[in-house]
Amino acid sequence: MPTAPFPAPRGAAASSGPTVAIDIGGTKIAGALVHPDGTMTATTRRPTPRGVDADGVMAAVAEVVAELSESPLWSAAVRCGIGSAGPVDASRGTVSPVNIGAWREFPVQERVVAELAAHGADLPTVLAGDGVAMTAAEHWLGAARGHANALCMVVSTGVGGGLILNNQLHPGPTGNAGHIGHISVAFDGEPCVCGSRGCVESIASGTAIARWALDQGWTPSDTGSGTGSAGSAGAGGGDATAAGVAAAATAGDPIALAAFDRAGRALAAAIAATATLVETDIAVIGGGVAAAGDTLFAPIRHHLAAYATLSFVKDIQVVPAVLGTHAGLIGAAAAATMLLPSSSS
């Protein structure tokens, strides 16, 4: 969390009060009051309930709102931003998170608005997918700060993203613009869960990286290196996830290196395509897979030179995200501030 003041996101009044921020994911539901200088107070969180119905999950969200309402600054809040795992439909205020099975087309925005009102806060509210929220956060306080046109990406168990165009967050009509994970970069590639073929997500997500490495004969080991039969994957307690593949790549395992090179090439092709389409000048990459550092970023930058060849895209920067675990709450607040510019105290 930033300790020094930063300018409020474009569109916010200098005297604005705090934004109620709610971050909904598969493992936790968090909340905070996010102030115009980027600081957070009254932070709280609950584990995302398992084995319950839709209302059972919503009950945890309601507990977060109730705890936030106990803050002495609650009455000064001027807006609310909800960031959620997707898919989302911001036009309808609904979410169907892949990792929250109880919620399918769940009207989370309407339900949160009702909880806010129940605690005396009748606030304009915005719903954003987690990729769009991360984009808003990185543009406000992170690696995309100062860039008028940016692509921000989350590379994790899936691949999501968002766009900043002309210093404005561009979520699109349903909140899914910038969803780079489902750009096809291999027209004869394997089927993707979305129904298309050769999508970035089917090649570069953490799940895809691990699956491909195992299919090629990589065997996870306790030291994170080694090759062998994929049939013995996991034997001896090895890490069969993308983190295990990254560790093996760092140790020089050729299959692991090839898995990250393949993922980097897919990401490079999609970054170049996006930059060519809308003239972004920076790509910010966060998420668990980005924690691999140069194991991921080096092949992206290498392959980008072959894809981003036109004069107006060849200098695009590719950098890691910097906000980490704070991106969800900061992003929910930043998205609300950018998309509700008339809100002020």
Give 98's DSSP letter. Answer: T
What is the reported pLDDT for 99? 87
Give 198's DSSP letter. Answer: S
Q: Average of pLDDT values for 268-279?
A: 97
Which two three-digit tokens encode residue 87? 């898919």
The string of pLDDT tens digits covering residues 86-108 is 899 999 999 999 889 999 999 99
Q: Average of pLDDT values for 121-145?
A: 96
Q: Give the confidence band of 269 by pLDDT, cuts at 50, 70, 90.
A: very high
What H or E segment, with its residue span, contains residue 305? helix 294-307
What H or E segment, with its residue span, contains residue 337? helix 327-339
Other beta carbons less than 10 A from residue 236's beta carbon: 11
Q: Average of pLDDT values for 102-128?
A: 97
The string of pLDDT tens digits covering residues 56-65 is 999 999 999 9
Residue 11 has pLDDT above 90, yes or no: no
Residue 235 has pLDDT above 60, yes or no: no
Distance of CA 179 to the CA centre of its chain: 10
What H or E segment, with its residue span, contains residue 274? helix 254-278
What is the reported pLDDT for 339? 94
Which residue reads 């194991």 in tokens?
295
Is the distance from CB of 323 to CB of 119 less than 8 angstroms?
A: no
What is the reported pLDDT for 16? 80
Q: What mean pLDDT, rounded, does the chain reach?
A: 90
Which two three-digit tokens encode residue 175? 């909140």
Residue 268 has pLDDT above 50, yes or no: yes
